[in-house]
Amino acid sequence: MKPAPFAYVAPDSVEGVVGALVEAGDDAKVLAGGQSLLPLMALRLGRPSVLVDVGRVDGLDRVEVVGDDLVVGATVTHARLGRDPEVARVAPLLAEVAPFVAHAAVRNRGTLGGSLAHNDPAAEWPAVALLLDVVVTVQGPTGAREIAAADLFESYLTTTIEPDEVLTAVRVPGLGPRGGAAFDEVSRRAGDFALVGAGARVTLDDDGAVASAAVSFLGVGSTAVLDATVGADLAGRPPDEAAIDEVARAAAARLDPHDDLHATAAYRRRLAATLARRTLTTAVARASAEVAS
Amino acid sequence: MSATEPRTELDVAVEVNGEPRRARVEARRSLAELLRDDLELTGTHLGCEHGVCGSCTVLLDGVPVRSCLMLAVQAEGRSVVTVEGLADGDRLHPVQQGCLERHSFQCGFCTPGILLTAAALLDAQPEPDEAAVREAISGNICRCTGYESIVDGILRAAEIAREAADGHAGEGA
């Protein structure tokens, strides 16, 4: 057994989970799919004394459509997001991103909620959450509260969720009329962590000019990055090739990626520009299809 | 398992290859260790033990998972199939037969994980093309074969499964 010893509990209610977290103190961790936490523990980079498993809590495995939004329970897996027809209809970007997450066997266990709470800077979901203005619900000893993605991701593997709180649901707003979104990433081999990934979101006005836009990146720093300046730069302009190319390059220039064993900072910046251009182009095409329909 | 207090040792009941099995395990025991050490099903191989190599892949309620990235206690009440559960008596599973015919393996270390991954693929997609096979096994590392013979074996397995299904349909008619 590679992890250090710990105690395990699997409450059957969210209240039970919070109670166990409060009881255990700062040294407890919530266990969802375990696909990030258990490897860290196997390498003894993490040594929680208590694991509180949310896998036995009723109702956390739901995917619901609420108005224009998709609400995803904390234990919904990446695999489910990739195949659920309601996800494809209401939040198609989630269905598009799911196959980029690791390999099939990991997607069968790992969860959207767990990935957001874990906040790996090379993971897909934090970047997608920032892009789509996702809101998570967390529950703690004093009740439930909502945290917007913009306020959630603090730094490397760190979020603003308190140690005695548990993420219970992820609300993904619909794109609205004349909206389109896209995601792409570059990795050395299928299923590896991406060197860089990017998502783009575009809304067009009645004349086909840009009403709003944003780009987000992963793999370029200690946490995912949202670039809203792209929106300001594109607003009111027709989203032609030249405009997209210009804002994509500018967005990449604003990043501060790192050198590591896998890629230099300069290479990452080039990938970011390419991916921003590609995803903006696709997002515009999708938004235009909405305008046409 | 209905305990409300955190415990370092727990009883776990799992269905493995169709049989109910029980064990008392440390909380930190992985599903792979439960299978190998407590239940003596050593066909499940442990390579990297942190989710990278795929050799410990088993089926959990019919879908492939990494048994090193799952605690034994998380499998409580679930159904697990290991490589020992693939054959039907002396009759090999199509993925075993196909891989045997196409010499899909050399050292055999990655074999159990690949067989179970392939079995799940054929279950979900009885007529996969080569790209689908490569995608399905992309999370399983083989250091011997270069994968060509494995892909051939799984494609052959799909043929065998179809022939068997056609045969049964014929018998029924």
Nearest to B8 among A5, A38, A52 (CB): A5
Task: Compute the distance between CA of residue A157 and CA of residue A129 in angstroms, rounded to an integer.
Answer: 15
Q: Which helix (H) or strand (E) holds A288?
A: helix A265-292
Shared domain check, B80 and B37:
yes
Please report which confidence band the pLDDT of residue B170 belongs to, taking 50, 70 and 90 as the band edges: low
Tell which of B64, B85, B106 closes a domain: B85
Longest dimension (CA), chain A: 62
Query: What percent of chain A has pLDDT above 90?
Result: 95
Mutate to test the interface with B, among A103, A188, A192 (most CBs of B within 10 A): A103
Over residues A264-287, the pLDDT tens digits come to 999 999 999 999 999 999 999 999
B1 has pLDDT over 50:
no
Domain finish residue from B85, B120, B148: B85
CA distance, residue A93 to nearest chain B CA (Å): 21
Shared domain for B51 and B100, answered yes or no, is no
* Domain end among B29, B61, B85: B85
Mean pLDDT of all residues in A120-133: 97
Q: What are the tens digits of pLDDT across the range B31-41?
A: 999 999 999 99
- Taking phi over 0 as left and psi of -120 to 50 as alpha, with beta for the rest, B12 belongs to beta
Strand pairing category for A69-73 and A153-155: unpaired
Tell me, what's the ipTM?
A: 0.93
pLDDT-above-90 percentage for chain B:
92
Residue B148 tokens read as 């060509």
Closest CA to B70 of A62, A41, A97: A41
Q: Would you state the structure tokens that stand for residue A230, as one six-digit string?
A: 């792209």
Mean pLDDT calculated for residue range A126-140: 98
Q: How far is A44 from chain B (nearest CA, A)?
A: 11
Q: How far apart are CA B5 and CA A71, in angstroms?
A: 31
DSSP, residue by residue, B103-153? T--SS-SSHHHHHHHHHHHHHH-SS--HHHHHHHGGG---SSS-SHHHHHH
Q: Are A229 and A200 in contact (CB under 8 A)?
A: no
Q: Does B102 touch chain A (CB under 8 A)?
A: no
pLDDT of res. B149: 98
Same domain, B75 and B101: no
What phi and psi, each to the nearest 5 degrees, are found at residue B81?
-120, 130
* Residue B6 to residue A3, Cβ atoms within 8 A: no
Domain that holds residue B14: 9-85
Residues A167-180: pLDDT tens digits?
Answer: 999 999 999 999 99
* Residue B110 belongs to domain with CATH number: 1.10.150.120
pLDDT of A196 strictly over 70: yes
A1 confidence band (pLDDT: 50, 70, 90): confident
Which phi and psi angles does A48 have, rounded to 5°? -65, 150
Residue type, B151: V
Q: Is residue B24 part of a domain?
A: yes
A 89-128 residues with CB < 8 A to B: 102-106, 108-109
Kindly indicate the confidence band of residue B171, based on its pLDDT and cuts at 50, 70 and 90. low
Q: Which residues of A touch B61 (CB under 8 A)?
A: none
B44 touches chain A (CB under 8 A): no
Nearest residue in chain A measured CA to CA from B46: A1
Q: Which pLDDT belongs to residue A26? A: 85
Task: Tell me the residues of chain A between 17 and 76 that have a Cβ less than 8 Å away from chain B.
Answer: 20, 23-24, 31, 34-35, 38-39, 41-43, 50-53, 55
CA distance A70 to A90: 6
3-class DSSP state for residue A31?
Answer: strand
The encoded tokens of residue B96 equal 């075993």
Please give the pLDDT value at position B156.
Answer: 98
pLDDT-based confidence at residue B173 (cuts at 50, 70, 90): very low
Instruction: Determine contact, residues B104/B92, Cβ cutoff 8 Å.
Output: no
* B91-115 pLDDT tens trace: 999 999 999 999 999 999 999 999 9
CB pairs under 8 A between A and B: 109
Our CA-based measurement puts residue A207 at a distance from the nearest CA of chain B, in whole angstroms, of: 42
Which chain B positions have a beta carbon within 8 Å of A5's beta carbon?
8, 26-28
Domains and CATH numbers, chain A: 7-53 (3.30.43.10), 63-172 (3.30.465.10), 179-292 (3.30.390.50)
Q: How far is A27 from chain B (nearest CA, A)?
A: 13
